[in-house]
Amino acid sequence: MAGFRVFLVVFTVCVVCVLTECKYMVYNTSQGIVPGKINVHLVPHTHDDVGWLKTVDQYYVGSNNSIQGACVQNVLDSLIPALLADKNRKFVYVEQAFFQRWWRQQSEAMKKTVQMLVSSGQLELINGGWCMHDEAATHYIDMIDQTTLGHKYIKEQFNVTPRIGWQIDPFGHSAVQAYLLGAEVGFDALYFGRIDYQDRAKRRDEKRLEVIWQGSKSHGSSSQIFAGAFYAGNYEPPTGFYFEVNDDSPVVQDDINLFDYNVQERVNDFVAAAFSQANVTRSNHVMWTMGTDFKYQYAETWFRNMDKLIHYVNQDGRVNALYSTPSLYTDAKYALNESWPLKTDDYFPYADRINAYWTGYFTSRPAIKGYVRMMSGYYLAARQLEFFRGRSKSGPTTDSLADALAIAQHHDAVTGTEKQHVANDYAKRLSIGYKECPLLNISYCPASEVDLSLGKKLVVLVYNSLGWKRTAVVRIPVINDNVNVKDSTGKLITSQLLPIVNASIAKRKFYTSAYMGESPSTGPMYWLAFTAVVPPLGFSTYVISSGKPAASASIKPKSYVFDGSQTGAIEIGPGNLKLIYSGDDGKLTQYTNSRSLVNISLEQSYTYYSGDDGSKDLQDLQASGAYIFRPNGTFPIQSEGKIPLTVFRGPLFDEVHQMINSWIYQITRVYKEKEHAEIEFVVGPIPIDDGIGKEIVTQIKTNIGNNKTFYTDSNGRDFLERIRDYRADWDLQVNQPIAGNYYPINLGIYIKDKNTELSVLVDRSVGGSSITDGEVEIMLHRRLLHDDGRGVAEALNETVCVRDTCSGLTVQGKYYLRLDPLGEGSKWRRSFGQEIYSPFLLAFTEQDDKWTNFPRPTFSAMDPSYTLPDNVAIITLQELEDGTVLLRLAHLYEVGEDKDLSVMATVELKRVFPNKKINKVKEMSLSANQERAEMERKRLSWKVEGSNAKQETVSKGGPVDPVKLAVELAPMEMRTFIIDFNSNLVQY
C-alpha cells in the first residue's frame, strides 16, 4: 500500500494547519516588588468628574451620553466581579459623591462583598472626599467640609481611613491642599498630574517630580507630605496602554490559535515605556496610572489586558510589573529610606504649554463662585443652628446642602469650567438647600417686602455665626418710606433709608423674570439700613414698623456733574476714613484715615483684556476661555463722558454711585464705624457686538513701592508671597506677562512697602495680581466667545434669557479695600475676612396680633461673659448623626503675621458650651475620621534632601486637659474635636 501512502502524503500537504486545542489560561498576577528591577506599579483607577460636561447624576446613571459616553454605575457594577475574579487585581476609587450613590443601591450581600474587597486592600478608597475638589477657586472650609463628608461615609461603611491624596486633575496645586488637606488629614502622600510645563521639564531633568512638600510656613515639617507630580503631566496610561471598551490600543493577543499574536511586541512596548519613565524617576519604582476619565465602564477589559501584561512582562524579566495602588507605591518609596527634594509654597499658576495659563478659571462664572461662597457661609451657620435645635432624626437636615456644596467644590464646578447646563445643575442643587430669599443678592426678598403701611410689623432676626460679638450695618429692601427700627428692648435705633436706584430696579425685574418665571407686581423702593449688634454664636432681633413721621433718616442723593460747576474735592465718609474724589472729574484720588494717619493717593478704575480668539498664531491656536486666560490687549475702560457722582450721605454710611459706563455700575460705601471701603460692582452685560470677548478687571493704584512682590492667600488661609515674572523653582520663561502672573484669591491680596500695606478682600474666588508696582487688580467677570480647547467645548459666554431675549450675564459683587501702616493690615484681613465669609444671617417673620413681642429677642449659645479670642474662629460646629458634636477651631494668624495675634490662643470649651455637660472630648484628624494621636502615630517620617529639619521647632497647642477643657491653638493651627455631651442636659 506504499503507493497510496505516497498519494496521501501528496494530498495532505493541504491540511497542515490544525487549530491546537487551547486550554484555559491562568495568568500569574501575584508578583510583588522585586528589588533591583524597575518595578512598574500598575494602578488601575478611573477619574470620575463630579459634573463637567454632564451633571453628576447624568454621569452616575449614564444618561446624556450624546455629550459624553460615561456612566459611573457601569464602572462600579463591573468592577466588583473583575476584582473577585483575581485576588491580585487592585483598584482605587476616589469620588465619594459617586460611590455613595452606588452604595445606596446595593444589596446587603453586595455591600458585604465590597467590604471584604476594601478590607483585603483590593479596593482602596483614596482621596475620599465627596469630590476631587479644586485647589484654586475653593475655600479651605469647603475643602475640609467636603473631605470630611466623604471620609465619614468611608469610615462608617468600611472602618478605614484613606491614606492617599489623589488630586490628579485639578489645574495647579495649593499649599493648603498639601499641608491641610494632605498632611493634616493623615495622608501619606499626595499625587497629582498638572504642574507647569516648564516646571515639569526641569523636574524631569533633575528627577525632582517627587518631593517632600511643606505647604505651610507656620507648620514647617510637622505638616509635610510626600508629593508626586506624574511623569507625563496627566493621569493616563502610557501611550498604547488604554484598554477601555472600544479603545484602540492594541490588546494583548496571546491566543496562538488566532491571527495577530503580539505578545512579544506588547512586552517590548511595555518595557520601553517603563525604561522611559524610570529615566526621570528617582528609585526603581514607577507608577502607571491605568485609567482616565470615566474609564472601566467594563472593568474586565482593563484587567484582562493588565493580567496578560503582568504575566508576560515578568516572564520576559527585564522589568517587574505588578498590580499596585498609590499606597503600596508610597510604601515602596518610603521603604527605600532615601532623602527627597524639598518643595515649599505651591504649584500656581499652571500652564500646560506656552501661552496656555490656566488662570482664567480663577474668575470664570463669578456668579456661581459668589453663590458657592454665600452658601458656604450659610452652611456653617446652618449647622450651628441645627446643633442648637438638636439634629432631627426624621425631618429636614443640613445634609442636602452639605451634598450640594460638596459637589460644588469639584474641580469643574466652582472653577466655572463645566458646560452651562451643568453649571445650572450645581446652582439648582445649592438652591434646594437654600430656599429662602434666593435672589437676595439682587434685592429680591419677599419676606422683607411686607407692606408695613397696613399695620404689620416685620421682625428681623440677625444671626452671628462668629465667636465674637459683632456690630455691623444691616440693609434690607422695603416697600415703604415711613418706617422705623426698634431693637429688642423696644428702643428706636438709628436707621437710614436710601432710595433704590432705577437701574437696580430694572435689573431686578429682568432677573426675577428670568429665574422665577414672573416679575413681581410691586417691588421694594428703598434700602433700610441699621446697625445690628449681635452676641457671639447668637442672634438679636429688630422690629421694623411703619412710623409717622418716619424715624429713619431718609437720604436724598446729591449728584455732582463735572461740568466745571463743582469746585473742590468731594470728601466721602462719616467716620475716620475719608475717600476724596476729584472735583474736576469725580475720580477717586485720595485715601485718608484720621486715626491711623494713613494718607495716600489712590486711584480705582476698570480695564478689560480682550480675549485672544486663538487665531493669530497658527502654531499656537490658543484662545482665552473658561480655563485659560490669554489676553490679546489691555483696554482701560473710559466712561462715555465724565462720570457723574451721586452721593448719599447718611448717619451710618455714605454711598457713592458711579455709572462707569453703560454696563458697569459701582457703589462705594464708607461706614462710620469701619475703616475700609466697600465697593459693590455691577458688571454686565459685557458687550460682545464687536465680536471680541472681554475679561473685566478692576485696578487699584497707589504709589506703594512693592517691588514686584504681592501676597495672595492659599484657599483663604495662608498668604503666599508672589513675585512678578518669577518662580522660585525654576527660571521662568515669561511668555504671558499678565496671565502668567495671575494667582487665585479667595480671601484677599495685598502689597506693601516699607510704610504702607494695601489690602483688597473679596467676597468670592477671583483671579488677581499686581501687574505693575503699586497696583493691585482683580478680575471680576469674563465673557468669551471661543472655546479654549480643554474639553468643555463651549465658549464661556454666560447669558440670561427672558423668553427669547438673552443678554450677557450681569454679575454683582463686592470687594473691600483698606490701607494700613506696615504691619497692621493683617488684623483687618483676618478678622474682617472672617466676617465676609460669615456675614450676618437674616431671617424674617411678620408679627401679627398674636405676638405683641418676639418671644426670644436675643440669644447667645456661649457664656454671656465669654468671647473667642480675636485670633480664633469656629470653623465647624455640627451635630453628627450619633449625637456627638464636631467642633473645629482655627487659629487665624500665621507665625509672625501680627505682632499681637500670632501667639498661642486658648479656647475654653466649657464657656463655649455653658449649657451642656461635656462628657468627653476626642481630638481628631482634620477630616475627623480617626483620632489625632493615631494619625500622628502612623505618620511617615520622610527625609528631606540636605536639610536638618530636626532643629526646627514648630509650636503646637498642647493636649486638652479633660477637666479644664481648654484648647490651645498655635498660629495657623486647626484642631478638630468630637465632643460627647451629656445628652439629657440640652438646654436651648
Determine the Cα–Cα distance for residues 16 and 946; give it in Å rounded to an integer: 69
Among positions 289-308, residues that touch a copy of itself (CB under 8 A) are 297-298, 300-301, 304
User: Closer CB to a copy of itself, residue 59 or residue 213?
Assistant: 59
| 684 closest CA partner among 780, 753, 767, 618 | 780
Backbone angles phi, psi at 559, to 5 degrees: -100, 140
Q: What is the closest distance, in whole angstroms, from the C-beta atom of residue 63 to a copy of itself in the complex?
A: 5
Measured CA distances, 176 to 2, 185, 558, 599, 766 (Å): 89, 11, 47, 35, 17
d(CA 911, CA 421): 48
Q: How far is the CB of 66 from a copy of itself (least distance, A)?
A: 4
- Of the ranges 99-107, 489-497, 665-673, 747-755, which one interacts with a copy of itself (CB under 8 A)? 99-107
Distance (Å, whole) CA 46 – CA 125: 12
| CB-nearer residue toward a copy of itself: 264 or 638 | 264
Between 304 and 922, CB nearer to a copy of itself = 304
Does residue number 25 form part of the binding site for a copy of itself (CB under 8 A)?
yes
> How far, CA to CA in Å, does 444 sit from each of 351, 441, 508?
41, 7, 7
Site for a copy of itself in 240-269 (CB under 8 A): 245-248, 250-251, 253, 255, 257-260
CB of 764: closest distance to a copy of itself in angstroms?
20
> Looking at 29, 39, 46, 78, which residue binds a copy of itself (CB under 8 A)?
78
Interface residue with a copy of itself, options 93, 226, 235, 378 (CB under 8 A) = 378
Looking only at residues 104 through 163 of this chain, which bind a copy of itself when binding is defined by CB under 8 A?
A: 104-108, 110
Which of positions 304-343 make contact with a copy of itself (CB under 8 A)? 304
Q: Closest CB to a copy of itself among 71 and 452?
A: 71
81 binding a copy of itself? (CB under 8 A): yes
Which of 51, 62, 228, 326 forms a contact with a copy of itself (CB under 8 A)? 62
Query: Site mask, a copy of itself, residues 933-952, x = CB under 8 A?
Result: --------------------
Cell numbers linked to 150: 466623604
Question: What is the Cα–Cα distance from 233 to 14, expressed in whole angstroms?
Answer: 55
Size of the residue set binding a copy of itself (CB under 8 A)? 97
| Stretch of residues binding a copy of itself (CB under 8 A), selected from 72-80, 665-673, 778-786, 808-816 | 72-80
Task: List the interface residues with a copy of itself, window 856-895 (CB under 8 A).
Answer: 856-857, 859
Q: Which of 71, 458, 602, 670 binds a copy of itself (CB under 8 A)?
A: 71
Q: Which is nearer to a copy of itself, 393 or 950 (CB)?
A: 393
Nearer residue to a copy of itself within complex by CB, 107 or 619: 107
From CA 661, how far away is CA 657, in angstroms rounded? 12
* SS3 of 673-733: CCCCEEEEEEECCCCCCCCCCEEEEEEEECCCCCCCEEEEEECCCEEEEEECCCCCCCCCC
Output the CA–CA distances (angstroms, integers) from residue 9 to 1, 4, 18, 19, 120, in the order listed: 13, 9, 16, 20, 60
Does residue 64 belong to the site contacting a copy of itself (CB under 8 A)?
yes
Q: Does residue 13 touch a copy of itself according to CB under 8 A?
A: yes
Q: By CB under 8 A, is residue 963 in contact with a copy of itself?
A: no
Residues 822-861 that bind a copy of itself (CB under 8 A): 841, 843-845, 854-857, 859
Which candidate, 917, 939, 919, places its Cα nearest to that of 930?
Answer: 939
> Which of 11, 556, 640, 941 is the binder for a copy of itself (CB under 8 A)?
11
Residue with Cβ nearer a copy of itself (77 or 824): 77
Contact 715, 346 (CB under 8 A): no
Kindly provide the b/e burial profile for residues 538-561, where b requires at least 16 CB atoms within 10 angstroms of the residue's own CB. Answer: bbbbbbbbbbeebbbbbbeeeebe
Distance of closest approach, residue 68 Cβ to a copy of itself, in angstroms:
9
Q: How far is the CB of 797 from a copy of itself (least distance, A)?
A: 25
Cβ-based nearer residue to a copy of itself, 261 or 726: 261
Nearer CB in complex with a copy of itself: 34/843: 843
Number of neighbours of residue 579 by Cβ within 10 angstroms: 23
Specify the residue, 130 or 742, whose C-beta has the smaller distance to a copy of itself.
130
Query: What's the CA gap between 215 and 177, in Å, rounded?
Result: 8
Only segment of 28-36, 69-77, 918-926, 975-983 that touches a copy of itself (CB under 8 A): 69-77
| Closest CB to a copy of itself among residues 207, 428 | 428
Residues 6+ apart with CB under 8 A from 765: 136, 137, 138, 139, 362, 363, 369, 372, 373, 414, 744, 745, 746
Q: Which contiguous run of DSSP H or E holds residue 802?
A: strand 799-802
Q: Which is nearer to a copy of itself, 433 or 684 (CB)?
A: 433
The answer to whether the beta carbons of residues 822 and 756 sit under 8 Å apart is yes
For residue 657, give the amino acid letter.
Answer: H
Per CB under 8 A, contacts with a copy of itself among 730-769 are none
Selected from 35, 396, 737, 959, the binder of a copy of itself by CB under 8 A is 396
- Orientation of helix 140-158 relative to helix 399-408, angle to 10°: 120
Q: Is 398 in the site for a copy of itself (CB under 8 A)?
A: yes
- Subset of 457-516 contacting a copy of itself (CB under 8 A): 461, 463
Select from 31, 33, 57, 802 the one that contacts a copy of itself (CB under 8 A): 57
| Contact residue for a copy of itself among 169, 210, 386, 757 (CB under 8 A) | 386
Give CA–CA dist 171/356, Å, rounded. 12
State which residue, 22 or 516, has the beta carbon closest to a copy of itself: 22
- Which of 281/398 has CB closer to a copy of itself? 398
Distance between CA atoms of residues 125 and 161, nearest Å: 8
Cell of 779: 478680575
Q: Which helix (H) or strand (E) holds 199?
A: helix 197-205
What gap in Å lies between CA 793 and CA 627, rounded to an integer?
Answer: 11
Region binding a copy of itself by CB under 8 A among candidate stretches 71-79, 626-634, 728-736, 826-834: 71-79
Phi and psi of 485, rounded to 5°?
Answer: -125, 130
Pick the closer one to a copy of itself by CB: 15 or 963: 15
Of 201, 335, 336, 432, which one interacts with a copy of itself (CB under 8 A)? 432
Scanning residues 527 to 556, which ones bind a copy of itself (CB under 8 A)? Answer: 539
Q: State the nearest-atom distance from the C-beta of 85 to a copy of itself, in Å.
A: 10
DSSP 598-653: -EEE-EEEEEEEEEPBS-S-TT---B--SS---EEEEEE---SSPPPEEEEE-SSE
- In a 10 Å sphere around its CB, with 0-12 CB exposed, 13-18 middle and 19+ buried, how is residue 815 labelled? buried
Shortest CA distance to 611 belongs to which of 628, 587, 589, 588? 628
Least distance from a copy of itself to the Cβ atom of residue 43, Å = 22
- Contact flag: residue 518 with a copy of itself (CB under 8 A): no
Residues 769-808 that bind a copy of itself (CB under 8 A): none
Residue closer to a copy of itself (CB basis): 841 or 935: 841
* Alpha carbon 567 to its chain's center: 48
**170-189 residues near a copy of itself, rule: CB under 8 A:** none
The full length of the chain comes to 988
